[in-house]
Amino acid sequence: MNEMNPKVDFYFNTAEKWQDEIERLRTIILDCGLTEELKWGCPCYTFEGNNVVLIHVFKEYCAVLFFKGALLNNVNGILIQQSENVQAARQARFTNAVQVIEHEAILKAHILEAIEVEKAGLKVNLKSTADYEVPEEFQSKLDRIPALKTAFEALTPGRQRAYLFHFSKPKQSKTREQRVENCIPQILNGKGLNDE
């Protein structure tokens, strides 16, 4: 088993919920030979500097997130795509310690497979921004407001995709138009959809 990183201990010691579950997950992951680090305020486990899995907690469950989970063989069906926007990552979710214990062998198999993915240098083929349709309501604003077009093109590809997905989701044109209007100041300020 690899060593526990003292910088990460606080995450496990201060957990108000899921403490038993995440401590068990920590042991399972370290038993697979990964290095424990602290990234994004969460325990992150790496192989030769590459992110493999992350432990995180939510109100309804705790989870192990596999960064390249889309490449894993999910024959047991425990890996979940968090939302349709998530392209590469997959989660294994747990709501009690018994589930963690019952799925330990499957979880270890996925972790070892994820390590092999890293050793092989495999990458998830991500959709590019060009693969997303630009809603007509947003395109007309881009055509009429050069500063908006410039600001949108200056955003990171991930931020661009988030806006395009947000704008195209509603069925009614009026709702799409309202979303575009509401987001124009945010785009002009160089911020992503959920940035403050």
- What's the pTM value of the predicted model, to 2 decimals? 0.73
Amino acid present at 162:
A
Residue range 118-160, pLDDT digits in tens = 999 999 887 777 777 899 999 999 999 999 999 999 999 889 9
CB 18: neighbour CB atoms within 10 A?
Answer: 24
CA distance 192 to 157: 10
Here the tokens at position 106 are 């499957």
Residues 62-120 have pLDDT tens digits of: 999 999 999 999 999 999 998 777 889 999 999 999 999 999 999 999 999 999 999 99
In order of their start, the domains of the chain are 9-120 (3.90.1150.200), 129-188 (no CATH)
Distance CA 161, CA 191 (A): 13
Looking at residue 130, what is its pLDDT? 73
pLDDT on residue 70: 94
